[in-house]
Amino acid sequence: MIGVSVFGSGRMGWIYAPILQRSSRARLVSVVNPNLSSAEKLTAAHDGRALADPDAALGDPDVGAVIIGTPTTTHLELIEKAAKAGKAILCEKPLDLSLERCDRILEILAEHPVPIMLGFNRRFDPGVAKLREAVAGGAIGALNMLLLTSRDPAPPPIGYVRNSGGYFVDSTIHDIDLACWIAGERPAAVYAAGGCLVDPEIGAAGDVDTTMTVLRMPSGALVHVNNSRRAVYGFDQRIEAFGAEGMLQTENRREDNLLRWDGGRTEARAPLEHFFLERYADSFVHEVEAFLEAVETGAKPPADQHDGRRALAIALACERSRREGREVVPDYGD
Amino acid sequence: MIGVSVFGSGRMGWIYAPILQRSSRARLVSVVNPNLSSAEKLTAAHDGRALADPDAALGDPDVGAVIIGTPTTTHLELIEKAAKAGKAILCEKPLDLSLERCDRILEILAEHPVPIMLGFNRRFDPGVAKLREAVAGGAIGALNMLLLTSRDPAPPPIGYVRNSGGYFVDSTIHDIDLACWIAGERPAAVYAAGGCLVDPEIGAAGDVDTTMTVLRMPSGALVHVNNSRRAVYGFDQRIEAFGAEGMLQTENRREDNLLRWDGGRTEARAPLEHFFLERYADSFVHEVEAFLEAVETGAKPPADQHDGRRALAIALACERSRREGREVVPDYGD
Amino acid sequence: MIGVSVFGSGRMGWIYAPILQRSSRARLVSVVNPNLSSAEKLTAAHDGRALADPDAALGDPDVGAVIIGTPTTTHLELIEKAAKAGKAILCEKPLDLSLERCDRILEILAEHPVPIMLGFNRRFDPGVAKLREAVAGGAIGALNMLLLTSRDPAPPPIGYVRNSGGYFVDSTIHDIDLACWIAGERPAAVYAAGGCLVDPEIGAAGDVDTTMTVLRMPSGALVHVNNSRRAVYGFDQRIEAFGAEGMLQTENRREDNLLRWDGGRTEARAPLEHFFLERYADSFVHEVEAFLEAVETGAKPPADQHDGRRALAIALACERSRREGREVVPDYGD
Amino acid sequence: MIGVSVFGSGRMGWIYAPILQRSSRARLVSVVNPNLSSAEKLTAAHDGRALADPDAALGDPDVGAVIIGTPTTTHLELIEKAAKAGKAILCEKPLDLSLERCDRILEILAEHPVPIMLGFNRRFDPGVAKLREAVAGGAIGALNMLLLTSRDPAPPPIGYVRNSGGYFVDSTIHDIDLACWIAGERPAAVYAAGGCLVDPEIGAAGDVDTTMTVLRMPSGALVHVNNSRRAVYGFDQRIEAFGAEGMLQTENRREDNLLRWDGGRTEARAPLEHFFLERYADSFVHEVEAFLEAVETGAKPPADQHDGRRALAIALACERSRREGREVVPDYGD
């Protein structure tokens, strides 16, 4: 049993706490939030002690690992503390909003080599994982194209958008990570286009809500990503891998398996699962289990700080490409 | 080019005339209806001479074949005239409403052996034909079960119902013919249940509008047919063949290949093709072509008077089974 | 927390024990099997004490409920013991193989009115439950037809078949229960046909492996059930409810949500979930939770001894109908 | 009846001749090919006189319209001749490979304003036409994204590739035309990426066989096109229109409507229609009918020389973008 402290009691904390509670591998020891009453609500609903100070959590010998679900700007400091305290770390994406600070994190972890995993939860979705395994196993021959569609049901509050680092860094970064993971390579150059078609406030904040991205891979494979902050029909999450010997597609998941036919003379399938809490509920579980297993066995976690930095470098190159109308080579720092 | 006279200028006449007009094998020579103005409407829209008297059509040396699309009660007399005149015959189903009169038709045709084909048009639907070919070719091994769903979009006028010979003879007969044709055998015994759930007038006329039929085949294969006079979502036509080594299903056909997703959060496929004129448009074409080819080549038509009598015997057994609550052995007359 | 003793450590015991272990409502206190080493294997893997004697389990004040997953012939005796001990009971289907013994169980329970629930797990499948709720809520208007397809991937060992009470009592009984539950009525008469097309040993044992059943409901609704002991493509579980205002269908569930396209030029969806352990995994969980909730709250369990007796009466009538080639009225005993 | 002369008796001639033969609006008067024996094969199979000289066809007063299905380099000269002869013109795409020569064609047609239509046959596919009509009618609100997938089953002979003008001009041009037609606007800028992943000979010829294209529309809508010269599972033709209020997708068409389930435990749908001759068979018919109707009624043909020039300008900009790694503004010449 690994004692875990969860840093942050916002949206991510409420995802991780019940997963830890149900896991046979872990025990929720503490929840940390400078706003103690927020942490207390989470521990009351689940387990563990509420703490205001991360150092208190890190000083607890019962804590073997921390999950960092705090605002992105705090990741560096918390990773540094946790690494120095020798705790294993599961950190939400993005690692940080700046490559310089990512490099600082890499240095810290080089010096204090604790196990660290990045929360790219979609890798742990059973359908996505099967698709990747099939591609890697040669089921469709050489990969020629990869198409990722990821559209949210509705835009987030504008306050969230303002602190998100921009749409590519906040959201496309998931698709970027999946693309590199599935293709087994990172782009030689990227191009992105985007605009504000959903919510003028997003445009006013200097961000976009509708984008298309192309990643040119060294193998010649081409990757397309499209993102929208609003799909009125629900959370649309699809991947298509097209190769020399075939094609694989993941279907959207639905609320149930009923087909309905009515006097409108149409067949209707059930709505899509509403948003990421529903759609990726089991991917979060598998993610936490993969982290705990890596901690237990000492194996390399399936997504680490280097993956986090790589995805950020690509997302930032997308943003720059969008502004400059040309291909951009990501700054991989190596 | 085969000169064809169409007997009847009602619903079936209006189906056959344009098909003949477009066929490179045939020419529409005349349309016969004692109500001459009805025949004239059809010839005006298409081709040929309007005639009131079938004998005039049969005496015309340009006529090589007749298509009988008149009321069922006239089939015997018209078949007799046409057979004696040596004309090839395509006759609508059912052959007749009585087995005795069917037997009389068989005798006439034994004496005057002209080519005759029964209008079981669904055999000529491309999907149905492929399914039958696959079953016959062993694609699913020994046939264990056959399920036929056939539901109309809306009940016909009560006047039609009253002269239809009953639901089993009017409609289930199509499914019965398909079942025997696909299975390659005829039932040892049948059971049917039914009631009046759609239109009380149908019940008042002594008929049913909702039925389930079971055919027990000598091989042990079991056939299920379900029929309804009203499916609010459209004309529902499906077949499922289940065998020792697999299953085949024909999907319903739709008005187009669009998927629509909207704010109701559902995916909707296009409506089904509305009714038999749309759904079986190409099966009627293939049926006429198959008839013309048989006439040209002298080959045995793919559905003949014996198939017509067999289907009627089974349909009548269904009606009797429904009334008596027990299995009935059809009177095959052999 | 309800302490539960599981009677039987065969297939059903291995289903129930892990569910109890994970439930927040229950604790697995003991597992009972006269063959103690069999019980010990289950408790070693999960929880609780292994006992050879049911009386030991029933005498334990920590036990509030029992789950009976033993051979059918032992149900009466164990229900009697448990009822007299005042324990709540979840009993596997069928209740018994004889109506007389069912009536004896009903008497015992009338005298010792403990909460009892029958293990008709398919009612608790989310898709089936949604379909029933929609039908009951009028989503398709008056129910006209109900079609249930239930085919196993492969026949069970012949020893299982011999003690099963026959295919209708062993397997069709699930569909019979669902049909009555969904339609909200019980059949006025039943008809069944069947044969041995899968495994000659089943025929030699006097049983059938391929059946079609028709239930005639008092409302006029017609129910079709088809069963096969072998569908080479997997466990095929579908329901179609056809009504005056629409149709609902449950789709089969699949192992994953991938579509695969290859050089064979076909699109293939993932295989069906293999058999009932996989397909109904969550229905068993929901079933146990529904039982525990009924025990906790004192509410009437959602399927009880009367549902068990009704389903058996109908299944026995099916078997008799099959032998006699006529409709049979079930002996409802009221 | 419009007398039509078909210029060219290659692949396109063999598509158009039978369509004309079956049309009630047209008569195939002549087929022109300097290689007379090639023209004779076509007239022998269908109708009309074989001619070596286009002037002979154009001098024939029975000819009211010409269909130009000759190599692209001959379009200018034949359009000039036909326009001067006052004949209506249906010309295959692309109009020409050079914008300068397109402009020359525009001048000729300005001087000799005969009806001219460009053979963008995919506009006439029933599913595509319905999708466009729905988008234009506001069914999905403002268009946010348009995704077009167009993949051939296998690469053409290398000789064809060498004279094709490059993949964008030869093939993507269809998708470009559809995108502009559906969106109702033309791109402000384009980006394209591509490589040679299918056939090294194509790369050696300086062309690509795998591409992704982004069109940035003035409204902010984003268009993605992906093309491949080889999809082993067949001719893959899909469009997805995503808007503020919903989404529309055209499904691929299949050879039949059978679902096949076998011991491999998978459900397989029928293969896709093989290639454009099959997939777009009815779009060619509708295209010819639309042309003939425009000629008959004097209405503006649904796709004309300006659409042809626009599509070429965009395709050439794609090729340039691919080489330069940056967005390119098409040279619309206005």
- The answer to which of A196-210, C34-48, C258-272, D176-190 has the lowest mean pLDDT is C258-272
Question: What's the distance, CA C159 to chain centroid?
Answer: 20
- E-only strand ranges, chain A: 2-7, 26-32, 49-51, 65-68, 88-91, 116-118, 143-151, 189-195, 210-216, 222-228, 236-243, 246-250, 258-262, 267-269
Which residue among D142, D228, D233 sits closest to A197, beta carbon to beta carbon? D142
- Whether the per-residue pLDDT at A149 is higher than 90: the answer is yes
pLDDT in tens, A27-48: 999 999 999 999 999 999 998 9
| Cβ contact A249–C263 (<8 Å) | no
Sort C285 into a burial class: Cβ within 10 Å, 0-12 / 13-18 / 19+.
middle
pLDDT, position A274: 84
CA-only gyration radius of chain D, Å: 20
Nearest CA of chain D to the CA of C260: how many Å?
9
- Whether the per-residue pLDDT at B305 is higher than 80: the answer is yes
State chain B's mean pLDDT as an integer: 96
Structure tokens at C149: 């397809």
pLDDT in tens, D53-63: 999 999 999 99
pLDDT in tens, A176-233: 999 999 999 999 999 999 999 999 999 999 999 999 999 999 999 999 999 999 999 9
Which residue among C246, C257, C263 sits closest to A261, beta carbon to beta carbon? C246
Nearest CA of chain D to the CA of B249: how many Å?
5
Question: Which one of A22, A260, A280 makes the best mutation probe of the C interface by having the most chain C beta carbons within 10 Å?
Answer: A260
Report, as an integer, the average pLDDT of B161-186.
Answer: 97
Report, as an integer, the average pLDDT of A157-183.
Answer: 97
HEC sequence for C268-300: EECCECCCHHHHCHHHHHHHHHHHHHHHHHCCC
Which of B140, B146, B145, B86 has the alpha carbon at shortest distance from B116? Answer: B86
Q: At what angle do helices A281-297 and A11-22 cross, to 10 degrees?
A: 60
Which residue among D264, D267, D271 sits closest to C265, beta carbon to beta carbon? D271
Residue bearing tokens 């309804």? B228
Residue bearing tokens 């909702």? B210
CA-only gyration radius of chain A, Å: 20
Work out the pLDDT band at B271, boundaries 50, 70, 90: confident
Nearest CA of chain D to the CA of A330: how many Å?
14
**Using a CB-CB distance cutoff of 8 angstroms, which residues of chain C are in contact with residue B194?**
222
- Whether the per-residue pLDDT at D265 is higher than 80: the answer is no
pLDDT, position C19: 95
**Using a CB-CB distance cutoff of 8 angstroms, which residues of chain A are in contact with residue C260?**
134, 139, 246-248
pLDDT, position B235: 95
**Using a CB-CB distance cutoff of 8 angstroms, which residues of chain D are in contact with residue A198?**
144, 244
pLDDT in tens, D279-316: 999 999 999 999 999 999 999 999 999 999 999 999 99
- Whether the per-residue pLDDT at D264 is higher than 80: the answer is no
Give the β-pairing of B143-151 and B222-228: parallel
Residue bearing tokens 């008959």? D296
**Using a CB-CB distance cutoff of 8 angstroms, which residues of chain B are in contact with residue A270?**
266
Which of B293, B179, B276 has the alpha carbon at shortest distance from B237? Answer: B276
Work out the pLDDT band at A113, boundaries 50, 70, 90: very high
- Whether the per-residue pLDDT at C265 is higher than 70: the answer is no
DSSP B251: P
pLDDT in tens, C4-48: 999 999 999 999 999 999 898 999 999 999 999 999 999 999 989
State chain A's mean pLDDT as an integer: 96
Which residue among A228, A232, A245 sits closest to D232, beta carbon to beta carbon? A245
pLDDT in tens, B134-150: 999 999 999 999 999 99
| Distance of alpha carbon D182 from alpha carbon D192, whole angstroms | 20
Q: Which residues of D touch B (CB under 8 A)?
A: 126-127, 130-131, 134, 139-140, 245-253, 256-263
Q: Are C281 and C253 in contact (CB under 8 A)?
A: no
pLDDT in tens, B210-230: 999 999 999 999 999 999 999
pLDDT, position B211: 98
pLDDT in tens, B159-168: 999 999 999 9
Chains touching chain D at 3 or more Cβ pairs under 8 angstroms? A, B, C
Which residue among C252, C258, C262 sits closest to A127, beta carbon to beta carbon? C258
Q: How many CA atoms lie within 13 A of B216 on its CB side?
A: 24
| Distance of alpha carbon C10 from alpha carbon C14, whole angstroms | 6
**Using a CB-CB distance cutoff of 8 angstroms, which residues of chain B are in contact with residue A272?**
265
Q: How many CA atoms lie within 13 A of A81 on its CB side?
A: 17
Q: Using alpha carbons, list the distances in angstroms from residue A82 to A13, A102, A116, B128.
A: 17, 16, 10, 67
Work out the pLDDT band at C156, boundaries 50, 70, 90: very high
pLDDT, position A265: 63
Residue bearing tokens 């991360």? A54
Structure tokens at D125: 């596919």
pLDDT in tens, D123-138: 999 999 999 999 999 9
Report, as an integer, the average pLDDT of B270-289.
Answer: 91
Judged by DSSP in three states, D290 sits in helix
pLDDT, position A271: 86
**Using a CB-CB distance cutoff of 8 angstroms, which residues of chain A are in contact with residue C264?**
none
**Using a CB-CB distance cutoff of 8 angstroms, which residues of chain D are in contact with residue C234?**
265
Residue bearing tokens 């999809």? D231
